[in-house]
Chain A
Amino acid sequence: GAVVSQHPSWVICKSGTSVKIECRSLDFQATTMFWYRQFPKQSLMLMATSNEGSKATYEQGVEKDKFLINHASLTLSTLTVTSAHPEDSSFYICSARSEGTRTFYNEQFFGPGTRLTVL
C-alpha cells in the first residue's frame, strides 16, 4: 500500500509553453500533498504544500503564478509550470501524506518524479 504515482515521468517542451504534472495517491486518500524540485546534484527543495479544496501554500521564493497547484480531490494534485523556460528544467517530485490509516498515519510517500526539460 501507500503508492504515489506521477504522470508524465518525463516531458520535453518548448520555451513559453505550459506543462501540467499529475500526482496521484493510488491506494489512500491525501488531503495534503507536497511538491518538490530537484536540480542535478542537489537536494530536494520544497516548493509548496497542496491542500485539498483550498489554496496551496508556497515556500518563500517560489512564484505562485508560475507554478500553479490544484488539489481538486483527495487523490489528485496537479502542478502546472506556466510559460516554462530552460531554467525551469528540473526533476519535480510530489509526495502525499497519508491520513486516517492506522499503519501509515501522518507518513509521507513520494512519487517517482517527473523530469522536465524545457528547450
Chain B
Amino acid sequence: DAKTTQPTSMDCAEGRAANLPCNHSTISGNEYVYWYRQIHSQGPQYIIHGLKNNETNEMASLIITEDRKSSTLILPHATLRDTAVYYCIVRHATGNQFYFGTGTSLTVIP
C-alpha cells in the first residue's frame, strides 16, 4: 500500500472549515484513500473514503486531486468535539490491513 504524508498538527477556529491535507504520491489505480480519526483514548472512527471522485457524507467531504496524488479532508464547520488525530490511509480495493501513519493532530480552538 502507498505511503501517506500529513502535517503533524493543525489548528482551526471553532465554526470554521478545517482542511486537512494528505499526500499519497505513489498511490496506484486500485488504491482507495481512507480517513479515520481518533479522539483521545478511543478507538479510531471511520470518516470517509474515496477512489477518485470527490465524496461527501454527514461528517465530512473528501476532495481527491485529478492525479490522485493528494487529497483533502474537509470538516465544514469544526466544533470542539472534532479535536482529534486524523489519519489518512491508502489501501488496495481488496486489501486487508490498514497501516496507520503518524496522522495530523487537529485542535479546534474556541
Contacts and interface: CB of A to CB of B under 8 A. Distances in A.
A113 B41 contact: yes
Contacts of B102: 43
A75 interface: no
Contact of A112 (B43, B96, B101): B43
A89 interface: no
A32 B96 CA distance: 8
B94 A93 contact: no
Given A43-B87, A43-B102, A43-B103, A113 B43 contact: yes
A32 B98 CA distance: 12
Interface string B73-85: 0000000000000
A107 interface: yes
Nearest to A2: B46
Q: Identify which of A6, A107, A110, A115 gathers the most chain B CB atoms within 10 Å of its CB.
A: A110
A95 B44 CA distance: 9
A97 B100 contact: no
A18 interface: no
Contacts of A34: 97-98
Interface of A: 4, 6, 32, 34, 36, 43-46, 49, 91, 93, 95, 97, 106-113, 115
Interface of B: 36, 38, 41-46, 87, 93-94, 96-103
8 contacts: A34-B98, A43-B102, A49-B96, A97-B96, A108-B46, A110-B36, A110-B44, A115-B41
